[in-house]
Amino acid sequence: MPYATTRDNVDIYYRLIGSGPLTLVFIHPPGMGHITFTHQFPLAKRYRLLLLDLRGNGKSGSNQKKIQFPLLAQDIYDICQQLELNRLILIGYSNGASIAMEFAITYPSLAKGLILVGAFPKVNSSLLFGEFLLGILAAKLHAVPLLAKVIGNAHAYTKEFGMELETYINKTNAHILYQMYQEGMRYDCTKRIADIKAPILLVYGQRDYYVHHYQNEFKALHPETQVIYIGKAKHQVPTKFPDEFNAVVHSYIRRITIP
């Protein structure tokens, strides 16, 4: 199995498929792992895809360092350096979008574009806050199997994929998951959105109402922000509406000017 090692000697599991001058780097939400983007594999016909398990998630290792998004962004940087990948389109889903933004702010020369799915620069809505509290509580009570079942069912494009995702989430240590949810609820990069040099595409499910308002902050602070809605979708765009999402990714990359 392919692993890359971070500067602090943590082994990160990754898959690198496809070819081309651009690499699409997929960043998953807490616990879900690289298989979240299984239905994005067809994009490898046009691009190189880097899919990974964040530290402490899936097949990746961890150490005693506290999970924080700057650390996870640094891990992604370390992997890309080892694999000699330097023209990146970062695709972050849900809280994975926050890690993508942190990467783009910290390593602007590598980030050529951002595609953020269901993104929020901070948690400021009661519904979103409630979701994070449930995740924190489930992890604290070591109820990861229950959480895995709920998330797997919610993202099930097919029954088989839902079960595969549930099994994969159960690989994540409860303490790591607890830290990831805590960091996600704490994280706020709103004031630094203007520091992102790459163009941004926000992809929202048409029915994912409680995150739609975040687009206003992006548009106000980042002039190269575009927004697209996926009809009939809620939050689970990459898994339940993969064909539509893949078409959006390809169309957007073709439209933007990438140095």
- Residue ranges covered by each domain of the chain: 3-122+189-255
Instruction: Give the model's pLDDT for residue 29.
Output: 98
Q: How confident is the model at residue 259 (pLDDT cuts 50, 70, 90)?
A: confident
pTM of the model: 0.97
Identify whether the C-beta of residue 257 lies closer than 8 Å to the C-beta of residue 113.
no
Residue range 186-243, pLDDT digits in tens: 999 999 999 999 999 999 999 999 999 999 999 999 999 999 999 999 999 999 999 9
What are the residue ranges of helices labelled H in the chain? Answer: 69-82, 95-106, 126-140, 144-154, 159-169, 174-186, 209-212, 214-221, 237-240, 242-255
Give dist(CA 80, CA 97) in Å, integer: 18
- Fold assignment, 3-122+189-255: Rossmann fold (3.40.50)
